[in-house]
């Protein structure tokens, strides 16, 4: 059989948004690689997607609707037809809505796909019309988005393709070698061409090894570090007074809150050398263009929102805007397009109960207004939501009706009453736009789905009909939904580009702040201490909350991304057991050596897994990857077992990296 070649794009939760070339043979995807349409894809993709055929056709793929026959959590099901499964789902949802109100139903979804047909579209319409509780999607980017909106409004940051123009690059709380790999060669080339690289990360990441300066700060101390840099910029006269007077408000408030943070004090709290902080200021003040790539590692602690705000305020104080490659990069998502998925949803968001997904465990324990139905899609909550034991207790409730729409048999599926097989992005049409690479794609399915998998669009379209929620004039087919999304593309430039080249760029793909665009705040100025953020942050914006470590639980357990997975996605393909990494001094103090089995615990829970002594870690910090599956650890727990449901200072996000634990050796050989 002759292979056919197709184009697609990757909607997974990754900033790079790769443009893809996909070979299909005998109805199966046989090869995936990057093509040249994306501005940073540069013809290559990560191993996760290059090997996606293992995900599409592997043993974990769900091929048919499944109805539970065993106890919850056992994972025993029988196959069912779509008609039977939809009847069960529609009847239960209807009964719950009629008996208890729509808010007893909670859709639970995150970034398994960032496509507008899969994350949005008819699913959102369905739950809005049902009057369901709203899921506050806070697992990632909620604190940083709130910080960016407060300081800058909706405005894109520095485009990744502008990094070669920078003379200094700061990578702060971000490890592109694991997530967002295309930035790595861009930075490597910039460094080879003479750019200075500074990395701020508790770990000695691959880019940290390349850096002129690596600040291995304690987790959760980015805020005082950034405030000390501000204080020093002002103290040295290196703050751009003209820029601040012309383009910023809140300058005095920021300066006052930075004032207590001398380099010495911040260095002590952050566990770094004050001379290195002074050097940071030397390098940053002197260089232009200078860009800060702020990652999402910064936000995952009690101070996360304030820390992101303080870091993103640095280019304003130091006057780094107005040149190509100067400023900051966070999420570049929605600011530039002029279109959104809302017209395709065609149902305004109701003011129903909002439930923060970070606190799912608490929500499922609520007996006053119980959640009686949980509908999970694009998400694997048993492994990714804080306080794993609380989540599992909730999912074990006999009176909770749980539906999971998934591609592969995740651990969350085991707790479902009904499991529905889902298509992947290569098996359904998807409209996707990047939050790093500023491009937009409308890609058709390139291969048939195995078994009976349905797209999100198919599933929720069928449920809208079964529950009598369709309305005349709704955009209903994929074509109609996509047409509605693009209705605001008034001059048709996005559609014209997609037709011509299957990829579209916004009118200004890499705008320079204060040259091409102005801040999206009400007065067009950067607000360095927004009243709205000040009002919601505990004790006010830029207030440092100290390390939660105790004598009993002295180690900071952080759970960053790894190259083989996107959160828990693709975890079924990583067969090796999980290992926690410890710094040599911490391992020696506990008699732990490579290959030992260890117990990691705090008051919330415990994880039993292998251990590895790592040279890339500072003492006091241990690393267990996020998104591990049940089979990766000896007791089935993920890092979320020791993460509380506490919220970040802004945005209500999870404090994954505030887990403080003790670790002890339990055996000399790691589980196989
Ligand atoms: S996960 Fe990221 S790097 Fe991998 S193919 Fe998708 S967009 Fe590209």
Nearest to 385 by CA among 410, 353, 349: 410
Residue 48 CA: which ligand 1 atom is closest?
4
Residue 46 CA: which ligand 1 atom is closest?
4
Establish whether residue 14 lines the binding site of ligand 1, counting it when its CB lies within 6 angstroms of any ligand atom: yes
Q: What is the distance in A from the centroid of ligand 1 to the CA of 475?
A: 30
How confident is the model over 499-510, as pLDDT tens digits?
A: 998 899 988 888
How confident is the model over 583-598, as pLDDT tens digits?
A: 999 999 999 999 999 9
| Cα–Cα distance, 652 to 465 (Å, whole number) | 35
Are the CB atoms for 249 and 526 separated by under 8 Å? yes
Q: What's the pLDDT at 668? A: 63
How confident is the model over 408-426, as pLDDT tens digits?
A: 999 999 999 999 999 999 9
| Cα–Cα distance, 271 to 152 (Å, whole number) | 30
Q: What's the pLDDT at 333? A: 67
Q: What is the distance in A from the centroid of ligand 1 to the CA of 175?
A: 14
Residue showing tokens 């300081």: 151
Q: What is the distance in A from the centroid of ligand 1 to the CA of 53?
A: 15
Are the CB atoms for 131 and 100 separated by under 8 Å? no
| Cα–Cα distance, 464 to 89 (Å, whole number) | 12
Dmax (CA) for the chain in angstroms is: 72
Q: What's the pLDDT at 337? A: 86
Nearest to 3 by CA among 59, 53, 49: 53
In degrees to the nearest 10, what's the CA dihedral of 642, 643, 645, 646? 120
Q: How many residues can be counted in the chain?
A: 672
Establish whether residue 40 lines the binding site of ligand 1, counting it when its CB lies within 6 angstroms of any ligand atom: no
Q: Burial of 177 by CB count in 10 Å (0-12 exposed, 13-18 middle, 19+ buried)?
A: middle
Residue 32 CA: which ligand 1 atom is closest?
5
172 C-beta neighbours (distance < 10 Å), count: 25
SS (H, E, C) 50-115: HCHHHHHHCCCECCCCEEECCCCCCCCEEECCHHHHHHHHHHHHHHHHHHHCHHHEEEEECCCCCC
Q: Which residues contact 248 (CB under 8 A, 6 or more apart)?
A: 316, 525, 526, 527, 528
How confident is the model over 531-542, as pLDDT tens digits?
A: 999 999 999 999
Pocket perturbation via mutation, ligand 1, pick of 8, 11, 13, 14 by most ligand atoms within 8 A of CB: 14
Q: 150-159, 289-298, 629-638, 653-662: which has the minimum mean pLDDT? A: 150-159
Report percent pLDDT > 70 for the chain: 99
| Confidence check: pLDDT of 456 > 80 | yes
Pocket perturbation via mutation, ligand 1, pick of 18, 432, 564, 568 by most ligand atoms within 8 A of CB: 18
Q: Which residues are paired to 197 by β-bridges?
A: 169
Establish whether residue 12 lines the binding site of ligand 1, counting it when its CB lies within 6 angstroms of any ligand atom: yes
**Residue 259 backbone phi and psi in degrees, to 5:** -55, -40
Establish whether residue 617 lines the binding site of ligand 1, counting it when its CB lies within 6 angstroms of any ligand atom: no
Nearest to 356 by CA among 651, 658, 567: 651
519 secondary structure, DSSP code: -
Tokens of 128: 């809005």
Establish whether residue 16 lines the binding site of ligand 1, counting it when its CB lies within 6 angstroms of any ligand atom: yes
Establish whether residue 17 lines the binding site of ligand 1, counting it when its CB lies within 6 angstroms of any ligand atom: yes
DSSP codes, 411-447: TGGGG-SEEEEB--TTTS-EEEE-SSS--EEEE---S
| Cα–Cα distance, 614 to 598 (Å, whole number) | 15
* Domains of the chain with bracketed CATH: 4-57 (3.30.200.210), 66-132+337-433+440-501 (3.40.50.740), 143-333+512-536 (3.40.228.10), 555-667 (2.40.40.20)
Report percent pLDDT > 90 for the chain: 93
Q: What is the separation, in whole angstroms, between the first and last Cα of the chain?
A: 40
User: Mapping DSSP to helix (H, G, I), strand (E, B) and coil, where does residue 502 land?
Assistant: coil
Average pLDDT over residues 577-585: 98
Please tell me the residue having the least CA distance from ligand 1 atom 3.
46
Q: Which residues contact 67 (CB under 8 A, 6 or more apart)?
A: 77, 78, 80, 84, 85, 88, 417, 418
Q: What is the distance in A from the centroid of ligand 1 to the CA of 10?
A: 6
Residue 13 CA: which ligand 1 atom is closest?
1
Establish whether residue 10 lines the binding site of ligand 1, counting it when its CB lies within 6 angstroms of any ligand atom: yes
Residue 14 CA: which ligand 1 atom is closest?
2
Nearest to 306 by CA among 260, 257, 256: 257
Average pLDDT over residues 69-97: 97
Q: What's the pLDDT at 672? A: 47
Establish whether residue 345 lines the binding site of ligand 1, counting it when its CB lies within 6 angstroms of any ligand atom: no
DSSP codes, 605-663: -EEEEEEEEETTB-TTEEE--TT--GGGSTTS--GGGG--S-B-TTTT-B-GGGEEEEE
Establish whether residue 45 lines the binding site of ligand 1, counting it when its CB lies within 6 angstroms of any ligand atom: yes
Question: Residue 669: pLDDT band by 50, 70, 90 thresholds?
Answer: low
Q: What is the distance in A from the centroid of ligand 1 to the CA of 254?
A: 37
Question: Residue 163: pLDDT band by 50, 70, 90 thresholds?
Answer: very high
Average pLDDT over residues 371-399: 98
Residue showing tokens 């087919």: 477
Quick check: bond before 30 cis, omega within 30?
A: no
Q: What is the distance in A from the centroid of ligand 1 to the CA of 539?
A: 39
User: Mapping DSSP to helix (H, G, I), strand (E, B) and coil, where does residue 1 land?
Assistant: coil
Are the CB atoms for 68 and 416 separated by under 8 Å? yes
How confident is the model over 273-291, as pLDDT tens digits?
A: 999 999 999 999 999 999 9
Which strand (E) or helix (H) includes residue 283? helix 274-286
Establish whether residue 561 lines the binding site of ligand 1, counting it when its CB lies within 6 angstroms of any ligand atom: no
Are the CB atoms for 611 and 594 separated by under 8 Å? yes
Q: What is the distance in A from the centroid of ligand 1 to the CA of 45?
A: 6
Q: What is the distance in A from the centroid of ligand 1 to the CA of 16?
A: 6
Q: What is the distance in A from the centroid of ligand 1 to the CA of 249?
A: 38
| Cα–Cα distance, 578 to 380 (Å, whole number) | 18
Residue showing tokens 């998934």: 406
Establish whether residue 600 lines the binding site of ligand 1, counting it when its CB lies within 6 angstroms of any ligand atom: no
**Residue 389 backbone phi and psi in degrees, to 5:** -65, -40
Q: What's the pLDDT at 434? A: 87
| Cα–Cα distance, 193 to 189 (Å, whole number) | 6
| Cα–Cα distance, 72 to 417 (Å, whole number) | 8
Pocket perturbation via mutation, ligand 1, pick of 10, 33, 441 by most ligand atoms within 8 A of CB: 10
Q: What is the distance in A from the centroid of ligand 1 to the CA of 14?
A: 6
Are the CB atoms for 168 and 291 separated by under 8 Å? yes
Tokens of 72: 């919850």
528 secondary structure, DSSP code: S
| Confidence check: pLDDT of 671 > 80 | no
Q: What is the pTM of this model?
A: 0.96
Q: What's the pLDDT at 670? A: 47
Q: What is the distance in A from the centroid of ligand 1 to the CA of 566?
A: 9
| Cα–Cα distance, 537 to 409 (Å, whole number) | 39
How confident is the model over 172-225, as pLDDT tens digits?
A: 999 999 999 999 999 999 999 999 999 999 999 999 999 999 999 999 999 999
Please tell me the residue having the least CA distance from ligand 1 atom 7.
17
Are the CB atoms for 358 and 386 separated by under 8 Å? yes
């Amino acid at each position: 059989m002759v292979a056919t070649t197709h184009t697609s794009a990757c909607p997974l939760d990754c900033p790079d948004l790769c443009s893809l070339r996909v070979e299909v043979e005998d109805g199966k995807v046989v090869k995936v690689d990057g093509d040249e349409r994306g501005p940073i894809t540069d013809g290559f993709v990560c191993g996760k997607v290059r090997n996606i055929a293992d995900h599409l056709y592997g043993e974990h793929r769900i091929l048919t609707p499944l109805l539970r026959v065993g106890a919850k959590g056992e994972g025993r099901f029988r196959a069912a037809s779509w008609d039977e499964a939809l009847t069960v789902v529609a009847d239960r949802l209807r009964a719950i809505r009629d008996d208890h109100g729509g808010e007893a139903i909670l859709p639970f979804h995150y970034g398994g796909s960032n496509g507008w047909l899969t994350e949005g579209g008819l699913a959102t319409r369905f739950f809005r019309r049902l009057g369901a509780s709203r899921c506050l999607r806070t697992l990632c980017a909620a604190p940083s988005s709130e910080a960016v909106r407060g300081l800058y409004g909706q405005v894109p940051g520095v485009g990744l393709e502008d990094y070669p123009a920078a003379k200094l690059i700061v990578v702060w709380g971000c490890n592109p070698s694991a997530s967002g790999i295309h930035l790595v060669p861009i930075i490597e080339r910039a460094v080879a061409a003479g750019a200075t690289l500074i990395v701020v990360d508790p770990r000695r990441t691959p880019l940290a090894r390349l850096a002129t300066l690596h600040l291995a700060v304690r987790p959760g101390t980015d805020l005082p570090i950034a405030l000390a840099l501000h204080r020093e910029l002002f103290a040295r006269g290196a703050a751009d007074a003209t820029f601040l007077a012309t383009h910023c408000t809140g300058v005095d408030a920021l300066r006052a809150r930075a004032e207590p943070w001398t380099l010495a004090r911040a260095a002590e709290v952050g566990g770094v050398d004050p001379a290195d902080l002074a050097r940071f200021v030397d390098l940053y003040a002197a260089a232009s263009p200078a860009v800060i790539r702020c990652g999402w590692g910064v936000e995952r602690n009690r101070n996360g929102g304030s820390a992101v705000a303080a870091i993103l305020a640095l280019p304003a104080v130091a006057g780094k805007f107005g040149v190509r490659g100067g400023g900051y990069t966070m999420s570049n998502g929605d600011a530039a397009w002029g279109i959104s998925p809302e017209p395709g949803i065609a149902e305004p968001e109701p003011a129903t109960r909002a439930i923060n997904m970070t606190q799912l465990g608490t929500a499922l324990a609520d007996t006053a207004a119980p959640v009686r139905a949980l509908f999970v899609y694009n998400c694997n909550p048993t492994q990714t939501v804080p306080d794993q034991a609380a989540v599992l207790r909730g999912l074990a409730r006999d009176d909770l009706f749980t539906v999971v729409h998934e591609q592969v048999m995740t651990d969350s599926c085991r707790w479902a009453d009904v499991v529905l097989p889902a298509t992947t992005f290569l098996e359904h049409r998807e409209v996707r736009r990047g939050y790093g690479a500023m491009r937009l794609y409308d890609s058709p399915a390139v291969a048939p789905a195995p078994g009976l998998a349905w797209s999100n669009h198919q599933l929720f379209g069928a449920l809208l009909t079964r529950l009598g929620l369709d309305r005349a004039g709704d955009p209903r087919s994929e074509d109609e939904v996509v047409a509605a999304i693009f209705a605001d593309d008034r001059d048709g430039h996005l559609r014209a580009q997609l037709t011509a080249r299957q990829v579209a760029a916004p009118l200004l793909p890499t705008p320079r702040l204060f040259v091409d665009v102005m801040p999206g705040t009400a007065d067009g100025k950067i607000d360095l201490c927004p009243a709205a953020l000040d009002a919601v942050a505990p004790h006010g914006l830029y207030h440092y909350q100290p390390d939660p470590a105790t004598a009993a639980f002295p180690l900071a357990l952080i759970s960053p991304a790894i190259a083989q997975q996107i959160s828990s996605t693709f975890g079924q393909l990583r067969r090796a057991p999980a290992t926690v990494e410890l710094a040599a001094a911490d391992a020696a103090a506990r008699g732990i050596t490579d290959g030992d089995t260890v117990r990691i615990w705090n008051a919330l829970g415990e994880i039993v897994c292998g251990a590895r002594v790592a040279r890339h870690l500072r003492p006091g910090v241990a690393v267990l990857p996020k998104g591990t599956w049940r089979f990766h650890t000896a007791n089935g727990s993920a890092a979320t077992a020791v993460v509380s449901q506490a919220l970040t200072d802004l945005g209500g996000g999870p404090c994954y990296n505030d887990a403080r634990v003790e670790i002890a050796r339990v055996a000399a050989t790691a589980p196989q």
